[in-house]
Structure 1
Amino acid sequence: MEALEDTLRRLREAFREGRTRPAEFRAAQLRGLGRFLQDHKQRLQEALAQDLHKSAFESLVSEVAISQGEVDLALRSLRTWMKDEPVARNLVRGQEGWGGCLRPLGGLHGPSPRLPLQATQMDSAFIRKEPFGLVLIVAPWNYPVNLTLVPLVGALAAGNCVVLKPSEISRSTEKILAEELPRYLDQSCFAVVLGGPSEMGQLLEHRFDYIFFTGSPHVGKIVMAAAAKHLTPITLELGGKNPCYVDDNCDPQTVANRVAWFRYFNTGQTCVAPDYVLCSPEMQERLLPALQSAITRFYGDDPKSSPNLGRIISHKHFQRLQGLLRCGRVAIGGQSDESERYIAPTVLVDVQAAEPVMQEEIFGPILPLLTVRSLDEAIDFINQREKPLALYAFSNSSQVVRQVLARTSSGGFCGNDGFMHMTLASLPFGGVGNSGMGRYHGKFSFDTFSHQRACLLRSPGMEKINHIRYPPYTPGKLRLLLLAMDERCCSCTLL
Structure 2
Amino acid sequence: MNVFERQKAYFYSGATRSYQYRSKALNLLKEVIKDYETEIMKALKRDLNKSDSEAFMTEIGIIYKEIDFVLKHLKKWIKPKRVRTALTHIGSVGKIHPDPYGVTLIISPWNYPFQLAITPLIGAIAGGNTAIIKPSELTPNTAKLIEQVINQTFLDDFIAVEQGGADKSQELLDLPFDYIFFTGSVPVGKIVMEKASQHLTPITLELGGKSPVIVHEDASLKLAAKRIAWGKFINAGQTCVAPDYLFVHENVKEQFLSNLAEAIVELYGETPLNNPEYGQIINDKHFQRLTNYLNSGTLFHGGQTNSGKRSIEPTVLTNINHEDPIMAEEIFGPILPVLTYSDINEAIDYIRNQPKPLSFYFFSETAHYQNLVLEQISFGGGCINDTIYHLSTPYLPFGGIGESGIGSYRGKHSFETFTHQKSILKQSSHFDLPIRYPNFKNRMKWIRKMMK
| Corresponding residue SS for 2:391 | helix
1:242–1:389 contact (8 Å) kept in structure 2: yes
Q: CA deviation at 1:92?
A: 6.2
Confirm or deny that 1:82 pairs with 2:78. Answer: yes
RCO higher in structure (CA 8 A, sep ≥6): 1
Give unpaired runs (5+ residues) of structure 2: none
1:8 aligned onto 2:4: yes
Q: Which amino acid aligns with 1:332?
A: H
Q: Counterpart of 1:370 in 2: which secondary structure?
A: strand
Where do residues 130-145 of structure 1 align in structure 2 (5 Å cutoff)?
A: 130-145=99-114
Superposition misfits of 4+ residues, deviation over 3 angstroms: none
Which deviates the most, 410-419 or 278-287? 278-287
Cα deviation for residue 181 of structure 1 reads 1.8
* Correspondences of 1:6-155 after superposition (within 5 Å): 6-91=2-87, 120=91, 123-155=92-124
Partner of 1:264, secondary structure, is helix
Q: Which has the larger radius of gyration?
A: 1
- Contact persistence 2:383–2:390 (CA under 8 A): yes
Report whether the alignment pairs 1:478 with 2:444: yes
Structure 1: gaps of 5 or more residues: 94-117, 487-495
Retained in 2: the 8 A contact 1:67–1:145? Answer: no
SS of 2:187 mapped into structure 1: helix
Q: Given the alignment of the two structures, is residue 330 of structure 1 paired with residue 299 of structure 2, yes or no? A: yes
Deviation at 1:285, TM superposition (A): 1.2
The letter for the 1-side match of 2:435 is: I
Query: Is the CA contact 1:52–1:310 (under 8 Å) kept in the aligned structure 2?
Result: yes
Per-residue CA deviations over 1:155-213 (Å, capped at 9, x if unaligned) read: 00110010111111111110101122221123321110010011111111111000000
Residue 169 of structure 2 aligns to which amino acid in structure 1? M
Q: What letter is aligned with 1:432?
A: I
Matched, 1:283 2:252: yes
- Cα distance in 1 for residues equivalent to 2:20 and 2:226: 46
Taking the aligned partners of 1:485 and 1:80, their CA distance within structure 2 comes to 34
- Residue in structure 1 matched with residue 400 of structure 2 by the alignment: 431
Could you tell me which residue of structure 1 aligns to residue 335 of structure 2?
A: 366
Give 1:185-204 correspondences, 5 Å limit: 185-204=154-173
Q: Percent identity?
A: 41
Residue 248 (1) aligns with residue 217 (2): yes
Aligned counterparts of 2:305 and 2:204: Cα–Cα separation in 1: 36
Give the one of 424, 436, 449 matched to 1:469: 436
The residue number in structure 1 matching 2:197 is 228
Q: Is the 8 A contact 1:35 1:184 kept in 2?
A: no
Aligned length: 452
Deviates more, 1:128-137 or 1:26-35: 26-35
Tell me if 1:261 matches 2:230: yes
Q: Which residue of 2 aligns with 1:108?
A: none
For residues 88-114 of structure 1, the C-alpha deviation after alignment (integer angstroms, 9 at most, x for no partner) is 112169xxxxxxxxxxxxxxxxxxxxx
TM-score by length of 1: 0.89
* CA distance, structure 2, for counterparts of residue 422 and residue 144 of structure 1: 16
Q: RMSD between aligned alpha carbons? A: 1.3
Secondary structure of 2:438 counterpart: coil
Q: Is the partner of 1:339 in helix, strand or coil?
A: coil
CA distance in 2, matches of 1:264, 1:446: 31
Q: 1:315 aligns with which of 284, 290, 308?
A: 284
TM-score for both structures, normalised by structure 2: 0.98
